[in-house]
Chains A and B, each alone.
Chain A
Amino acid sequence: MSDEMTLYLQVWRQKDSKSKGGFQNYKVENVSGDMSFLEMLDMLNENLAREGKDPIQYDHDCREGICGACSCMINGEAHGPGKKTTTCEMHMRHFNDGDAIIIEPWRAKAFPVLKDLAVDRSAYDKIIMAGGFIEVKYGNAPEANSMMVGKEVADFAMDNAACIGCGACAAACPNASAMLFTAAKTTQLSLLPQGKVESKKRVQSMIKKMDELGFGNCTNERLCEAACPKGISIISIARMNREYMGTLLKSDY
């Protein structure tokens, strides 16, 4: 059980996407180690609201690490210091009394800041729209067990399907690349027999869309992998590159 702490925050405040932002300093007292990072920010916001000041805007929803909404750069690390953790799962016991904490929004050209720590991540939806699906109509899909998939392949597909679309990969990358996000989806779908049919078209159009939206390329920095709260490996990026090259060299028939 940790004692109560006093923390010194530097938080990025920005009125809207058009205004210029800057850091503001806040002192937060009586922070218990059992509080989550967002509960600490809630406490600050509650104080700000009571004083009639505009609370800090940050995205959050499920607060159990699965919706992918929370997105804070904490002391320069996407989702803070914990491994395989989202901002909402981070607890204050990882900090010490008197610590200074710098809190920023995701920084990437394709994720413009909306207000304070909230950014617009609709670019990720657009990458999915470009091919992150299987062209199947609702209704009479074939019987589920009619197509077998080996456990190892199904498990690896699931490792990739675990992506929560939070954007930490692009935020952590010096090139603001969305390769890990895109590769996780192409890998999941092309490994399964249902998705294999469209894999060529998918990988081409998703990569094209990613480039169009202003995400950078991959230069093997591996920061995305380190920041990913779901532990998705850059093996998937290598796999997507191989698949993409293959589509340029090989004919389907």
Chain B
Amino acid sequence: MSSLKLDSKVPQGDIKTLWEDYKFNAKLVNPSNKRKFTVIVVGSGLAGASSAATLSELGYNVLNFCIQDSPRRAHSIAAQGGINAATNYQGDGDSVWRLFYDTVKGGDYRAREANVYRLAEVSNNIIDQCVAQGVPFARDYGGLYSMRSFGGAQVSRTFYARGQTGQQLLLGAYSAMEKEVAKGGVKQFTRREMVDLVVVDGKARGIIVRNIITGEIERYAADAVLLGTGGYGNVFFLSTNAMTSNGSAAWKAYKRGAAFANPCYVQIHPTCIPVHGELQSKLTLMSESLRNDGRIWVPKSATETRKATDIPEEERDYYLERKYPAFGNLVPRDVASRNAKNMTDEDKGVGETKLAVYLDFKDAIERLGRDVIEARYGNLFEMYESITDENPYETPMRIYPAIHYTMGGVWVDYNLQSTIPGLFVLGEANFSDHGANRLGASALMQGVADGYFVIPYTLGNYLGSEKLDKVSIDHEAFNTVEKEVQARFDKFMNIKGTKTVDHFHKQLGKLMWEYVGMARTEEGLKKALVEIPKVREQFWKDLKIPGDSKDLNIELEKANRVADFFEIGELMARDALNRAESAGGHFRLESQTEEGEAKRNDEQYCNVSAWEYTGDNQEPVLHVEELTFPNVPLTQRSYK
């Protein structure tokens, strides 16, 4: 029988003072003792770099690991739009409470209220902190900050740095971390990939990594392990994630005893440049802001063959404006994505592959002039033209939804601690504060909040209250885990089959997109649970890895990640099958309103599903954390 217990450890009391009370009651580690503790931080994105820098400033010894050649390249860098904060600089009625409320509602009531409130509460400190680091957020002519609006909110609370907000925040956190590297508080390990977690006496005490340059397997011990390793969107092969973004670190934690929560919640971004062919490697996002002025349409006839500009007005279907007169083209991401899929399912898709819809700026250009459109979106139009060779000033853009962000992840309590003591999970890697759907400009907010403002207190509380024996890398547990890791890499090399890693990854991606994508059914999910293991079996039988394992070997690196993607994909399908309701990014065709909108089932599923690993080829055990909403009453979202 399983011993795993989900205890959210949310303190009792008024939600508005919970975090203040927590901070006062948390155990402290005295400054001269902090240097006696070593903390491993895996990942150098917003969550990883901000926590590494902060913990080192406080006096802990930090070991930071990243997969890229420099910590500055983590994929947080690619976030475009902005970061939310409840400063109310615009005087438009924003407040911590409103940000909290919007985030809970936007997440379709599947997030933990106390965590979301804390996120909203620290959001203003984030802006102050980043500005102090030299992040050049946009300003207006008076010298004060300029802000913009984003989906799911009626106030302008989004700070931005052109279309590169993620880059600027990440470089702020990166430079803060490099400052600590120079001082000796952080030891930086680049081109390293975490390949396993080491648990000693039930506590996370170290990691095993593979040195990507030499292929050597290395061991590192610590008093606590932090994962800021991002999401698992690349299960789908094609996504807006970076090429090395993967779910392996979180997955290893799962296999060592951490519960994995809500794996089925995946965000599909509606405005990406469509797939052009079989050899495509990744998808490029076009900012959500384009929907402010662009009109989305498809031809009314499924047999249409004319060029977009030759199709007369009366033969076009502006389907979002038709179906959602109140929000029009600005419906939330999940609604916009599903509707695009419905149109292409009816054969009304456009372009060569028929898997796209038009995003048309003709009316906006006529109304405002080309100059205004160029000033607002010039860089995005250039990017679109560079990729597609089409000029969006003259012909409508073709767009299609793509996998973007994963709301699911490692289950954590209010301390951001997983079900393995000493293992903390931050940013996109945890199951997060976004519930079933993340609002735009909230990912950056959460990554930074976890790293700068939450973990310094909760980690101190852990280290200050636990009795931790010294553990070195010579401990038996490290020997055992390293042997298992080595055996796994040897196994890949020894298959000596005939097909490459990408061959199998693409097959998995197609299954996931078809059955565990935008619209899911009981039948399809059951099929996925049969088909995924079949492809996985083939992978382990017929994989071909050239070269040597003790060398820079990109095929071997990919094989290790894809082997985990097969298992993650299966758990996603299982979770999606279990959750027989629609919520946010999880849409079950069986559970929709008369108008075809996502219909929650709060009676049965107002909860977090957290899965416990019980062994290879064995069914995982489902645990449930019930969610309550005393502060934000449950309602059905409507955008009509």
A interface vs B, CB < 8 Å?
1, 16, 32-36, 38-39, 42-43, 45-46, 48-55, 57, 59-69, 82, 85, 89, 91, 93, 114-115, 118, 120-122, 124-125, 128-130, 132-145, 147-151, 154, 157-158, 161-162, 164-165, 188-189, 192, 194-195
Contact = CB atoms under 8 A, between A and B. Distances in A.
A64 B178 contact: no
A60 to B, nearest CB: 6
Judged by DSSP, the binding face of A is: loop
A152 B72 CA distance: 27
Contact of A68 (B73, B128, B141, B387): B73
A165 B72 contact: yes
Contacts of B452: 138
Given A91-B387, A162-B164, A151 B141 contact: yes
Given A38-B281, A151-B140, 13 more contacts: A42-B279, A42-B281, A50-B499, A50-B544, A52-B546, A125-B70, A128-B175, A138-B129, A138-B176, A149-B139, A149-B143, A154-B136, A192-B134
B430 to A, nearest CB: 20
Given A50-B500, A91-B386, A129-B182, A122 B242 contact: no
Contact of A66 (B78, B456, B552): B78
Contacts of B244: 61
> Among A33, A34, A85, A148, which residue has the most Cβ atoms of chain B within 10 A?
A34
A135 B69 CA distance: 25
Contact of A43 (B72, B73, B136, B279): B279
Interface in B173-210: 174-176, 178-179, 181-182, 188, 190
Interface in B378-427: 383, 386-389
B458 to A, nearest CB: 15
Interface of B: 50, 53-54, 57, 68-75, 77-78, 87, 89, 125, 127-129, 131-145, 161-162, 164, 167-168, 171, 174-176, 178-179, 181-182, 188, 190, 213, 242-244, 276-277, 279-282, 284-285, 383, 386-389, 452, 456, 498-502, 544-547, 552, 554-555
Given A93-B389, A132-B175, A66 B164 contact: yes
B428 to A, nearest CB: 15
Contact of A145 (B89, B164, B285): B89
A143 B135 CA distance: 14
Given A69-B68, A91-B387, A129-B182, A141 B125 contact: yes
A93 B385 CA distance: 12
A161 B182 contact: no
A145 B143 CA distance: 9
A85 B379 CA distance: 12
Q: Which 5 A-B pairs have the closest CB atoms?
A: A148-B143, A141-B132, A133-B175, A129-B182, A141-B128
A145 B144 contact: yes
Contacts of B387: 36, 89, 91
A58 B87 CA distance: 43
A144 B134 contact: no
A26 to B, nearest CB: 15
> Among A46, A115, A124, A128, which residue has the most Cβ atoms of chain B within 10 A?
A128
Nearest to A161: B136
A195 B136 CA distance: 11
Nearest to B80: A66
A50 B57 CA distance: 49
Contacts of A45: 554
Contacts of B174: 128
A16 B53 CA distance: 32
Given A61-B244, A133-B176, A188-B136, A144 B131 contact: yes
A61 B191 CA distance: 12
B129 A67 contact: no
B546 A67 contact: no
B544 A194 contact: no
> Among A64, A68, A148, which residue has the most Cβ atoms of chain B within 10 A?
A64
Nearest to B453: A138
> Among B50, B134, B244, B279, which residue has the most Cβ atoms of chain A within 10 A?
B134
24 contacts: A35-B276, A35-B277, A50-B499, A55-B555, A57-B554, A63-B281, A64-B78, A66-B167, A67-B78, A128-B174, A129-B178, A132-B178, A134-B175, A136-B132, A138-B176, A138-B452, A141-B125, A141-B131, A161-B136, A165-B73, A188-B134, A192-B136, A194-B131, A194-B133
Contact of B179 (A54, A133, A192): A133
